[in-house]
Chain A
Amino acid sequence: MITDKISYSRLVIELARSTFMTFLRPSSTAIDSAISQMRSIGLGALPTASLIAVAAGFILALVLEIQLSQIGKVEVVPSLLWIILTEQVVPVGVALIFAGRSVSAVTAELGSMQVSEEIKALFTMGIDVVPYLLVPRFLGFQIMLPVVTLVGIYASLLGGWLLCGIVLRMGIADYIYYAFDGASFWSVMVALAKSALFAFLVATIAFYKGLNVRNGSREISEATTQSVVGAVIVVTMADAVVTSFQLV
């Protein structure tokens, strides 16, 4: 990967091997680096994701209220919100936020390190690029995307309650009762599993595009755009596939 371009499959294999070895023999520097990446990749996305989740919950609740009030079934709005937000909207939405924010940043960072020979410098210092650069970032995505998804689920339910409280004059206790009436632990597990899958996909796309930059700032810009677009497409298609399996 220093001069020759790396294939996606080889990248995934190297990443898997290095991540396994990091867990087998963790060092304090690896842990510090992973925590730092969790902070920049995940914590930084938390405010944006939470805000969008509240808005998404509010909007979805509004749409459901309008439709269900026509058949006198507004009391099922909270439980429908739980199912739709938890299993679909929030995991995909958070992954798309990560794609726009963190995938672009990681791609640009790695691309710029290639162009400025920093990656070559690491190689000549006898430092393995994958464990040093990629594994902490991979763990940042893999841990924080599900965490932010979990926070986003509850933020979106809050948004839903804002609508239910204002329009339906539903008290918080009633809202929670109706929401959790339709809720199941399985929905949360589906959300976390999806977000873990999305994290793997968007992270590896960011690494692949960033490490394969070779020539100057124009190519960094192109790679960043391609990685965001690629991540968005892949997340959406992966969600379609996984959701199809749920119906089987």
Chain B
Amino acid sequence: MAGTIAEAKSKLAPMPEAVEPVLEVINVTKTFPNGKTVLNGISFQVLPEETFVILGGSGCGKSTLLNILIGVLEPTSGQIRILGEDLRSLRGDRLKAVHVRCGMLFQSGALIESLSLVDNVHLPLREHYRGMDPDVLFETARLKLRMVGLEEHAAKRPSGISGGMKKRVALARALALDPDLVFADEPTSGLDPVSTREIDEMFIRLTRRIGAAAVVVTHDISSFFRIAHRAVMLGGERDGDLQGQVIMQGCPEDFRASQHPVVRRFFASGESETRNR
């Protein structure tokens, strides 16, 4: 029964080797039944091992886009290719095989309240590597918790820890299966500046250690400059006809140097918020 996680992973998810890019979003539009179009012609790519940020103010559709990328919502039109597979054509075991190669860090953590911290991290390992030695899987879960500095809290329940600790456990869980692609929804929301920096640095260190690409949704400008290789900015509620559309794509320096009024307004308000903290 014993064996390495890597061996088991190669048997579990028999998929073609990831081709460049790991994620392609091609002209995605989302219109809800009430007629509101929240995403309009969104296109971008995420390359292997890069951290790609989705930026934007309120109402720009960041969360909707993330829900589409993780397969919870379907786009109205457009295509999403994730790890070489067309997401819209995936069902059942094939969709599960993609999920196994992706990790997700939710804004609130979304830890299972009835499980201890180590059991939360152990859960995806136990469910997807059933033929493996249970002790090996449990040790792997403890190792992941140790990587986020919470091994001594392993037996606690999520209700007994702080918001920042929950995010760290959620990160450990997202990385439990050594994914190729990690999604993160506002990973530093609700945290103080010190904890924000800590989570950002931990996120970058751990995703790069396993060679994963990351797609991070955030409106935190300091986090953006700290973690992003490249980014896309979407228009928000205040941007009129540009709401839900791509305003700009590029690396952080491009955004800093941009003269686009929406970009300048977004960064100006974000920097003033940072100064006032």
Q: Which residues of A contact B (CB under 8 A)?
A: 2-3, 27, 29, 109, 112-113, 116-118, 120-127, 132
Known contacts A3-B67, A117-B108; is A123 also within 8 Å of B127 by CB? no
Q: Which of B73, B99, B126, B128 contacts A124 (CB 8 A)?
A: B99
A27 to B126, CA, bound (A): 11
A121 to B107, CA, bound (A): 11
Decide yes or no whether B113 CB sits under 8 A from chain A.
Answer: yes
Inter-subunit contact B113/A126 (CB<8 Å): no
Q: Give me the 4 closest cross-chain CB pairs, A-B, nearest first.
A: A126-B99, A121-B110, A126-B96, A117-B110
Which residues of chain B have C-beta atoms less than 8 A from A2's C-beta?
72
Inter-subunit contact B72/A116 (CB<8 Å): no
Among B95, B127, B173, the one with the most A-chain Cβ atoms within 10 Å of its Cβ is: B127
Decide yes or no whether B104 CB sits under 8 A from chain A.
Answer: yes
Q: How far is the CB of A244 from chain B (nearest CB, A)?
A: 41
Inter-subunit contact B108/A125 (CB<8 Å): no
Decide yes or no whether B148 CB sits under 8 A from chain A.
Answer: no
Q: How far is the CB of B264 from chain A (nearest CB, A)?
A: 34
What are 27 A-B residue pairs whose CB atoms fall within 8 Å in the complex? A3-B67, A3-B73, A27-B130, A112-B113, A113-B113, A116-B110, A116-B113, A117-B106, A117-B108, A118-B110, A118-B113, A120-B110, A121-B104, A121-B110, A121-B111, A123-B71, A123-B72, A124-B71, A124-B102, A124-B183, A125-B173, A126-B95, A126-B97, A126-B124, A126-B128, A127-B127, A132-B127
Decide yes or no whether B47 CB sits under 8 A from chain A.
Answer: no
Q: Mark B100-132, 1 if CB is under 8 A from A, else 0.
A: 101010101011111000000001101110100
CB interface residues, B 13-72, toward A, < 8 Å? 67, 70-72
Q: Which of B99, B113, B114 contacts A125 (CB 8 A)?
A: B99
A88 to B104, CA, bound (A): 51
Inter-subunit contact B72/A3 (CB<8 Å): yes
Given contacts A118-B112, A124-B183, 4 further A-B contacts (CB under 8 A): A29-B127, A116-B113, A120-B72, A121-B106
Among A109, A121, A122, A125, the one with the most B-chain Cβ atoms within 10 Å of its Cβ is: A125
Which residue of chain B has the shortest Cβ distance to A132 in the bound complex?
B127
Q: How many A-B residue pairs have CB under 8 A?
A: 58
Known contacts A3-B72, A117-B106, A121-B106; is A127 also within 8 Å of B112 by CB? no
Q: How far is the CB of A215 from chain B (nearest CB, A)?
A: 15
Inter-subunit contact A125/B123 (CB<8 Å): yes
Q: Which of A116, A117, A126 contacts B100 (CB 8 A)?
A: A126
Interface of A is mostly: helix
Which residues of chain A have C-beta atoms less than 8 A from B128's C-beta?
126
Which residues of chain A have C-beta atoms less than 8 A from B108's C-beta?
116-117
A123 to B73, CA, bound (A): 12
A77 to B104, CA, bound (A): 64
Which residue of chain A has the shortest Cβ distance to B13 in the bound complex?
A126
Q: How far is the CB of A28 from chain B (nearest CB, A)?
A: 9
A124 to B70, CA, bound (A): 7
Which residue of chain A has the shortest Cβ distance to B104 in the bound complex?
A124
Which residues of chain A have C-beta atoms less than 8 A from B124's C-beta?
125-127
Q: How far is the CB of B178 from chain A (nearest CB, A)?
A: 14
Inter-subunit contact A120/B73 (CB<8 Å): no
Q: How far is the CB of A106 from chain B (nearest CB, A)?
A: 12
Inter-subunit contact A29/B67 (CB<8 Å): no
A238 to B194, CA, bound (A): 60
A113 to B72, CA, bound (A): 16
Q: Which of A29, A112, A120 contacts B106 (CB 8 A)?
A: A120
A116 to B108, CA, bound (A): 7
Which residues of chain B have C-beta atoms less than 8 A from A112's C-beta?
113
Among A123, A126, A132, the one with the most B-chain Cβ atoms within 10 Å of its Cβ is: A126
Q: How far is the CB of B110 from chain A (nearest CB, A)?
A: 4
Q: Mark B150-194, 1 if CB is under 8 A from A, else 0.
A: 000000000000000000000001000000000100000000000
Q: How far is the CB of A113 from chain B (nearest CB, A)?
A: 8
Which residue of chain B has the shortest Cβ distance to A131 in the bound complex?
B127
A185 to B111, CA, bound (A): 49
Q: How far is the CB of B61 from chain A (nearest CB, A)?
A: 15
Inter-subunit contact B73/A118 (CB<8 Å): no
A109 to B126, CA, bound (A): 23
Q: How far is the CB of A116 from chain B (nearest CB, A)?
A: 6
Q: How far is the CB of A26 from chain B (nearest CB, A)?
A: 12
Q: How far is the CB of A124 from chain B (nearest CB, A)?
A: 4
Q: How far is the CB of B217 from chain A (nearest CB, A)?
A: 14
Q: Which of A27, A123, A127 contacts B123 (CB 8 A)?
A: A127
Q: How far is the CB of B240 from chain A (nearest CB, A)?
A: 28
